[in-house]
Every structure is written in C-alpha cells, then in structure tokens.
Amino acid sequence: MTNIAFIGLGIMGNPMAVHLANAGHNVAGLDRSPERAEDLVAAGGRAATSLADAVKGADVICVMVPDSPDVQAVLEGEDGVFQLAETGTLIIDFSSIRPDVTQQLAEQARALGFHLLDAPVSGGEAGAKNAALSIMVGGEADDFAKAKPLFDVVGKTVVHVGPSGSGQTVKAANQLIVAANIQAVAEAVVFLEAYGVDTKAALEVLGGGLAGSTVLNQKKENMLSRSFQPGFRIDLHHKDMGIVTAAAREAGVVVPLGALVAQLVASARANGDGGLDHSALLRGVERLSGKEIG
C-alpha cells in the first residue's frame, strides 16, 4: 500500500486515480473542480482540500494537468510540490509537456532531493478507463523500477525509454502519428461518403487490412455518427503539435506532414472546434470540401 497524491482529476486523471484506489492504495485527489473527486471518493480515496493537504505524507505524487505552465505551477510555484513535499518523494508527471521543461524540472527535483519521472500516456479516455494506457517513461532506471507497480495498475504497455525528457519526446512522436492518422481517416470517410459507399462496411474491411489502426478502430464511430464528445480535445492536440514542430525545429529535423497536420489542427481550433474530440478533424475536411457541417 502506497500513499499517493494525485493532482489533476480530468478525463484522464480521474479514472487513473480510481484504478490506484481500487488497487488498495491510499489516494488523495485534488482538482480545481472539487466535484471531479467524487468517483475517487466512491472508490475509497479522499478529496484533498489543498495541495498541501494532498501531498502531506505522500510517498508518490502523481501529476496529470494540461500543459507545461500548469506542471511548473504545481511543482515549482509558490507553495508548490517542491516546497511542500517531503524530501525523497517520487514525483510522476503523467502530463504531456515540452521535453525541455521536463528536463529543467528534473534538474531542480534532483537538486532538492526529489525523484521525478516524466510518464506521459497514450490511449485516450478509453485507455484510461480500461487501465490499458501506453506509458512512455523518462528518468532514472531505479526510479522507474520503484514506480513500475503503479504504472502496471493504470497501463498495459509500460516502457522506460531513456533519461529525463525522453518520455515527453516519445509522446510528441506519438501525437504526430495520431494526428496524421486521424486526418487520413477523416479524409477517407468524406471521400467514401461522396461516392455513396456504405461507409460503415467500408471502414470495417479497411480496418482488417494494412489500413487498419487503433485510431481507425477507436474513432470511426465518432466520425460516422458525427458525435465528438471529447476523449481527447483538439485544444490539447493543438498544444501537442506545437511541441512537435518546435522540438523538430530545435533538432534540425524536417516534419512536413507534421507541420501540415499542425495547421489543420490549428484551423479546427480557430473554427471553434477546440473543445471537441480530435476526431472532429473530420469537420475540417468537410469545410475544405464545401460541405454543410452538422
């Protein structure tokens, strides 16, 4: 049994914290919207009243917040984790943020006697609810070994990919692949519909061949039904594509498809779709094709 503080109980953090509580750990959850802790409390965890309350006595502090500034505020801000937690505490950052920010935070953590792992996840809301996430972990090997039992509670594919920042770099590559795949599926759906094909049947047979993918399997129903309840919001994928393009430029790597998809994601956001699931890139294809959008 481990005492865990879980900061950030959104679409992803909420089910992850619940899984940890169901596994028998003592989990104190904290979110800006207190009602998000209800599922955790029902699973035997507790709702913390403040960051200080959450991290008091915690062996492990998990963070799952939207962006780099949010992680920085939680860790190094005034009355943040670096000030409030006990020296030696293991900090697991499940957020998807800039690799260079992670590296800076890891250096600060080491200097203060903490152990920080960057452990962004992939799999969306379905993966979080089913404890089937893919977790790419950067940091010290010894810290990874200590955290592995917790990772195994919330994830299915858990891999230590290198030193601090490596997890975030792999996540950026993941987001590039996912965005390009969603865009391709969206274009295929609009193309098939234009020819009056039984699109559901077409996607079934495409899914059984080389065109098949997890993206196709998970997102086809959203596209067919035009139901874009967010499992992963376009706003967040926009942020991630910014990380991809900036990091690629810094490394001197050319990502022409990535740059194009980043612009298409930005266009979807500019057209008011930021709060929708990233499968709503389909709406952008319809706009470009001059089709009426429902």
- pLDDT tens-digit series, residues 215-239: 999 999 999 999 999 999 999 999 9
Asked whether residue 294 carries a pLDDT value surpassing 90, the answer given is no
How confident is the model over 129-168, as pLDDT tens digits? 999 999 999 999 999 999 999 999 999 999 999 999 999 9
pLDDT band of 293, cuts 50, 70, 90: confident
What mean pLDDT comes out for the span 109-127? 96
| Predicted confidence (pLDDT) at residue 179 exceeds the cutoff of 80 | yes
Domain containing 238 — which CATH number?
1.10.1040.10
* Residues 129 and 173 occupy one common structural domain: no
Are residue 74 and residue 199 in the same domain, yes or no?
no
- pLDDT tens digits, one per residue of 189-209: 999 999 999 999 999 999 999
Q: Which residue has the higher pLDDT, 99 or 292?
A: 99
Give yes or no: residues 231 and 249 share one domain. yes
For residue 99, the domain's CATH number is: 3.40.50.720
Query: Is the predicted pLDDT of residue 258 greater than 80, yes or no?
Result: yes
Residue 294 covered by a domain: no
Q: In this predicted structure, which of 47-51, 67-71, 122-126 has the lowest mean pLDDT?
A: 122-126
Give catalytic residue positions.
171
Give mean pLDDT, residues 251-259.
97
In order, the DSSP letters of the chain are --EEEEE--STTHHHHHHHHHHTT-EEEEE-SSGGGGHHHHHTT-EE-SSHHHHHTT-SEEEE--SSHHHHHHHHHSTT-HHHHSPTT-EEEE-S---HHHHHHHHHHHHHHT-EEEE--EESHHHHHHTT-EEEEEES-HHHHHHHHHHHHHHEEEEEEEESTTHHHHHHHHHHHHHHHHHHHHHHHHHHHHHTT--HHHHHHHHHTSTT--HHHHHHHHHHHHT----SSBHHHHHHHHHHHHHHHHHHT---HHHHHHHHHHHHHIIIIITTSBGGGHHHHHHHHTTPPP-
**27 and 140 share a domain?**
yes
Do both 60 and 185 map to the same domain? Answer: no
pLDDT value at position 152?
98
% of the chain exceeding 90 in pLDDT: 97
Domain with 214 in it: 169-288
